[in-house]
Amino acid sequence: MILVLRALGVGDFATGVPALRALRRAFPAERLVLAAPAWLGPLVELAGAVDELLPCAGLDDPLPRLRPAVAVNLHGKGPQSHRLLRATCPGRLLAFGRGGPRWSDAEHEVQRWCRMLRWYGVSSDPADLALTRPASQRPGVTIVHPGAKSGRRRWPPARFAATARALVRNGHDVVVTGSAAEEPLARRVAELAGLPPPAVLAGRTGLGELAGLVGHARLLVSGDTGIPHLATAYGTPSVVLFGPMPPTLWGPPPDRPQHRTIWHGHTAEPGDTPGTLPHPALLTVTVGEILAAADGISR
């Protein structure tokens, strides 16, 4: 058995897909088990690299003593994640740190894990990001996704609404997505944009349905959160607003012209991650910039 730890979110899983596929190729006869949140199940299936999802809500959720032949830390640099995997009694641990490669903060998330595996002799392809495309009941929509886990990464709702309103004028069928917790935000954006209630899909789509929606969409407009990584996986045109983290760390591959990132060069500073107010980098982004970027890439 190969046990992989990546108990994080949608974007984290999507950026880890090349590493998971590399492990699948390197250990074809072994059962590949991924320790990750159970709700990621539909997305894990779409990657086609994992044999079993072992529910793990985070680093405080102990893992059973599975005694895997190899445990792989795709979660972080340790030490807590290292301890969680060592407690499973693996024959070997692949990880950053002592005995392994050195961690670098100035590295794209996809490249980071591929580099770690290459250090251990596991060949990987950072471009191997595609997911199976589910069917969609609403193909061709333009998705506006105003939410993000951190308030620092959320563009103001009024600007998302102005963008949505302009896109509708330009012939786009706009829907607003988000989690159940983000439904009030999505409704506010829709109301300000003059969209009808059925345009609000926040809280009404499971993860598999969301993947299908993105996979068949005309365009995605979003902040730096999980959903742009689905657009990258499906080649769906996207405009992604960054702040405080630059796209060099979490953005789509720079050689894919259907994805546009907007970031005004502000670097992350201590204290940028917590908080509820948008980061200054986002506040300098205009609706006109988003529309200009969208005009050049939408299907």
- In this prediction, residues 264-290 reach a mean pLDDT of 76
Closest to 263 in 3D by CA, of 293, 219, 226: 293
Mean of the per-residue pLDDT values of the chain: 95
- CA-CA distance, 71 to 88, in Å (whole number)? 8
Q: What is the pLDDT of residue 83?
A: 97
List, in order, residues 6 or more apart from 107 with CB less than 8 Å away. 115, 249
pLDDT over 90 percentage in the chain: 90
Predicted TM-score (pTM) of this structure: 0.94
- In this prediction, residues 168-186 reach a mean pLDDT of 97
- CA-CA distance, 1 to 72, in Å (whole number)? 11
Q: What is the pLDDT of residue 272?
A: 46
Q: What is the pLDDT of residue 204?
A: 95
Classify domain 142-297 at the CATH class level.
alpha beta
- Asked if 167 and 173 touch (Cβ cutoff 8 Å), the reply is no
Listing from the earlier edge strand, what are the strands of the sheet with 32-36? 52-55, 32-36, 2-5, 70-73, 93-94
Question: Residue 237, preceding bond cis, omega within 30 degrees?
Answer: no
Q: Kindly indicate the confidence band of residue 270, based on its pLDDT and cuts at 50, 70 and 90.
A: very low
- In this prediction, residues 231-242 reach a mean pLDDT of 97
Q: Kindly indicate the confidence band of residue 296, based on its pLDDT and cuts at 50, 70 and 90.
A: confident
Which of 206-210, 221-225, 232-236, 242-246 has the weakest average pLDDT? Answer: 242-246
- In this prediction, residues 206-233 reach a mean pLDDT of 97
Q: In this model, does residue 207 exceed pLDDT 70? A: yes
- Kindly list the domain boundaries of the chain, sorted by start residue: 2-119, 142-297
Phi-psi region of 220 (alpha: psi -120 to 50; beta: other; left: phi over 0): beta
For residue 216, the one-letter residue type is: H
Q: What is the pLDDT of residue 274?
A: 54
Q: In this model, does residue 268 exceed pLDDT 60? A: no
Instruction: Tell me which residue has tokens 């349905």.
Output: 209
User: Mind listing the pLDDT tens digit for each residue in 77-110?
Assistant: 999 999 999 999 999 999 999 889 999 999 999 9
Q: What is the pLDDT of residue 77?
A: 96
Query: Phi and psi of 46, rounded to 5°?
Result: -70, -20
- The architecture of the domain spanning 2-119 is 3-Layer(aba) Sandwich (3.40)
Q: What is the pLDDT of residue 271?
A: 44
Strands 52-55, 219-223: pairing kind: unpaired
Q: What is the pLDDT of residue 129?
A: 98
Closest to 156 in 3D by CA, of 248, 269, 296, 281: 281
Q: What is the pLDDT of residue 222?
A: 98
**Residue 183: Cβ-neighbour burial (10 angstroms; 0-12, 13-18, 19+):** middle
Q: Kindly indicate the confidence band of residue 276, based on its pLDDT and cuts at 50, 70 and 90.
A: confident
pLDDT over 70 percentage in the chain: 96
For residue 162, the one-letter residue type is: A
